[in-house]
Copies of this chain bind each other. A is one copy, B any other.
Amino acid sequence: MVWDPLSSWVVGRPTPKLDAYEKVTGAAQYADDILLPGILFGKILRSPHPHARILNIDTSRAERIVGVKAVITGKDTAGIKYGVYHFCSDQLALCIDKVRYIGDEVAAVAAIDEDTANEALDLIRVDYELLPALFDPLESMNEGAPRIHDYAERNIVVSPVVSFGDVEKGFSAADYIRQDQFETPGQAHCALQPFTVVARFDTFEKLEMWTPNQSPFVKRRVLSKTLGIPMSHVHVRKSHVGGAFGGRSEMMSLDFCAALLSRKTGRPVKIGYTREEEFIATRKRHPMIIEIKTGVMRDGTLVAKEIKLIADVGAYASTGPIAILNGPFFGVLAVCRIPNFKYQGYCVYTNKPVSGAMRGHGVPEIRFADGLQMDMIAREIGIDPVEIRLKNAIQPGEVLPYKSKVTSCGLSECLKKASETMRWSQRKGKMPQNRGLGIGVGSCISGFHLGPRTTSAAIIKLEEDGDVALFTGSVDNGQGNETMLAMIAAQELGLKPTEIRVISADTDLTPQDQGAFSMATAFVTGNAVKRAAADLRCQLIQIAADALETNAAEMGMGEKKIYLKSNRDLNIPFAEVYRLSLQKDILPVGRGSFTPKIDDLYYSKGKHEGQFTNAFTFGAVAVEVEVDGSTGKVKVVDLAAAYDIGLAINPLAVEGGIEGSVSMGLGMALQEEVVYDRGQMLNADFTNYSFPLAIDMPPIRSIIVETRDEGGPYGAKESSGQPIVAAVPEAVANAIYDAVGVGITSLPITPEKILRALEEKERSP
């Protein structure tokens, strides 16, 4: 076979998204665009109390309203709890005995329109017995604190301890030791499309569902289990997704409620969350308290680090157990070599809305803390921040303390390129007053072990007219996955991406996919699609070679034709290959499947050791800020982001990923925080929850670093910009530290915090 995938026909060329026109013209179908005959509209009744026992629910008045077709409560569910891990599956479709946060789901109504449904909610009477509530994870962990979930002692979901080397010995050997405490708040995804679901149960107990989600196959499993129906009775269908950022990894109550209401009414049911519900009743980034003690040698070499981290999961565990290991494993140990390391994490319940996966998922939080401390250390021992990071940077081929091999690594190159772009060495230390330069690094994974759902597969079918249909279970959250996968198929088959028809994200029609999370699509689904396309290519070339009475090695492929390399005029168009193939009773169908050979963070050998990802990605962000000394306001003046992505299959999408990551990272650094008063979210709307707008954005100098990983398709690792989002808060905090000499240890770094710190600094000697 001679087709050379690296002759770069498609891969590596900036390619507009295949669905761009559809989206900008409004033709793309989102869940809220779906109207079905007889459709009903659902609304969910939420708890007004942070912690209470449900004594009684009286739905009779609501049911009597004209236009109300069904009211359901926890009693209408199978009462099966769901969650990310079996050991902490703790959430119900609708609460049965207790409510655990203000917003917890108590009942749901389906009616002929939303107004009627809302009216009915007002008439549902719930009798509660109030329970003492916990809002601070430290209080939750007190002996004798009321339990939020019966099983969880001291309200702790998990509290893993991880240790490599001998941390005590390390600290004894260190020339310099520093210990600090940091805090990071909750952050909301603010996806522009609010959660909306349409569910239709037919009379045969078969469920169709349209819901924005990062993995229809994971949803199918959870729906099957929670509704007590066979997997083959659940059909999760494609609709466009208006942003996910980790927030659409799990089922939400509306999904179950729509299904249950549809089953009860025999009619399709749509539930759409308001923006307020979107803030309160979906996942958010985990608020964290992070304590770090670091020991270094005089030359900046790290010798020991001890981290204690408390993550506030809110009322339900969700992805908490993952978030508290992502930070130390991928946010710390994958970016710096630390011979002696100890970590103690706590995943703790409170009576607040639920935390979950969000871009970076534990990594940006710990990078902010660890990176700001590193700059403090660097300043005190007199080393340049870039230099200290380079000195300790993980290198290609290294095996990390937890036995994961880093197959490819562009961390040092990212550090160099980002700092050089900002003319770091020329300018650092010579900045005008109140201006500063900061550096941050980030790392991330390309796929993660998520139980049985980790395989991606693809089927590619040649069509009668020579076009190609790609069946993939993958989801495009808006980041351009479909375009990327079409590019891979096109590359392998000598086609244009527009000649690939993508059928995606449908449990009935497409093969299994691991899901568009854990940064897995490029690596895992990408490999599956590449294999499927190569399989088809071999079939087509063989058929053409037979027809031309030559052998496959003599054949080339391009422009929807298979030609003799020595004489391109001797060629067979794909449509003719299709015909020839059928004459031989061969249906030209390629298939590919890819299962990462990686270990589970929790179940691998019981001690948090193994290969935890296919490949690591890296990034570095250098940023220049100006701080207004009288107001404390920070202006980000310039920013360079270098991103080791392995290979950029679609550089246009990768740059988009970098820009989005910068925006989210800046929001996290400077603006974003969900604020509660005794469990009641105070800023659950776009007026009071502030995130960066276009006008807030600095120029972004995107630098793509291509280390070509041995396992990824064409060397690609991921494309979502996660190392960048991880590096931004660290870089910004350090730039502010550089500009005005105060290290703000809690996010977001608001003008108030800076002013207070400047005042304190002035007061102190």
Which residues of A are in contact with B by a Cβ distance under 8 Å? 21-22, 25, 27, 33, 35-37, 202-204, 217, 221, 224, 230-232, 452, 455, 457-459, 461, 463-465, 467, 469, 501, 503, 508-509, 511-512, 528, 531, 579, 581-583, 585-587, 589, 591-595
Contact = CB atoms under 8 A, between A and B. Distances in A.
Contacts of A465: 224, 230-232
Contact of A512 (B22, B464, B528): B464
Contacts of A230: 465, 467
A646 to B, nearest CB: 20
Contacts of A508: 469, 501, 503
A204 B581 CA distance: 31
Contacts of A455: 582-583
B512 A503 contact: no
Contact of A463 (B232, B583, B585): B232
A465 B512 CA distance: 11
- 3 shortest A-B CB distances, which residue pairs? A587-B593, A231-B465, A457-B587
Contacts of A512: 464, 582
Q: Which of A579, A583, A585 has the most CB of B within 10 A?
A: A585
A587 B582 contact: no
A457 B585 CA distance: 8
A503 B509 contact: yes
Contact of A593 (B204, B231, B585): B585
25 contacts: A22-B203, A22-B204, A25-B203, A27-B203, A35-B37, A221-B464, A224-B465, A230-B465, A230-B467, A455-B582, A455-B583, A457-B582, A457-B587, A459-B459, A501-B508, A503-B508, A509-B509, A512-B582, A581-B593, A582-B593, A582-B595, A583-B595, A585-B594, A586-B593, A589-B589
B595 A232 contact: no
A755 B710 CA distance: 91
A129 B591 CA distance: 61
A430 B452 CA distance: 76
A581 B452 CA distance: 12
A501 B230 CA distance: 13
Given A457-B587, A509-B509, A587-B593, 14 more contacts: A27-B203, A221-B464, A231-B464, A231-B465, A231-B467, A452-B464, A452-B579, A459-B589, A503-B508, A503-B509, A512-B582, A582-B593, A585-B594, A589-B591
Given A203-B27, A589-B591, A593-B585, A463 B21 contact: no
Q: Which of A217, A232, A469, A583 has the most CB of B within 10 A?
A: A232
Contacts of A21: 204
A585 to B, nearest CB: 5
A473 to B, nearest CB: 11
Contacts of A467: 230-232
Q: Which of A35, A464, A501, A508 has the most CB of B within 10 A?
A: A464
A591 B27 CA distance: 35
A114 B151 CA distance: 63
Contacts of A221: 464
A21 B459 CA distance: 32
A452 B580 CA distance: 11
A452 B469 CA distance: 20
A204 B469 contact: no
Contacts of A232: 463, 465, 467, 501
A22 B204 CA distance: 8
A592 B579 CA distance: 15
A1 to B, nearest CB: 19
Nearest to A22: B204
A587 B595 contact: no
A455 B37 CA distance: 37
B25 A464 contact: no
Given A457-B582, A595-B583, A463 B503 contact: no
B579 A585 contact: no
Nearest to A499: B232
A508 B36 CA distance: 22
Nearest to A202: B27
A587 B231 contact: no
Contacts of A501: 232, 508
A673 to B, nearest CB: 40
A511 B587 contact: yes
Contacts of A585: 531, 592-595
A371 B502 CA distance: 56
B587 A459 contact: yes
A347 B12 CA distance: 60
A461 B473 CA distance: 13
A759 to B, nearest CB: 59
A431 B539 CA distance: 67
A461 B586 contact: no
A530 to B, nearest CB: 12
A325 B25 CA distance: 53
Contacts of A586: 593
Contacts of A592: 585, 587
A534 to B, nearest CB: 13
A217 B27 CA distance: 26
A469 B589 CA distance: 16
A469 B235 CA distance: 13
Nearest to A501: B232
A36 B508 CA distance: 22
Contacts of A595: 582-583, 585
A496 to B, nearest CB: 12
Nearest to A585: B593
Contacts of A459: 459, 461, 587, 589
A465 B591 CA distance: 20
Contacts of A204: 21-22, 27
Contacts of A464: 217, 221, 231, 452, 512
A576 to B, nearest CB: 11
Given A37-B35, A508-B501, A512-B582, A463 B589 contact: no
A565 B582 CA distance: 36
A51 B664 CA distance: 72
Contacts of A36: 35
A221 B461 CA distance: 18
Contacts of A528: 587
A463 to B, nearest CB: 7
Contacts of A231: 463-465, 467
Contacts of A587: 457-459, 511, 528, 591-593
Contacts of A463: 231-232
A230 B528 CA distance: 29
Contacts of A25: 203
Nearest to A37: B35
A21 B206 CA distance: 13
A599 to B, nearest CB: 14
Nearest to A25: B203
Contacts of A217: 464
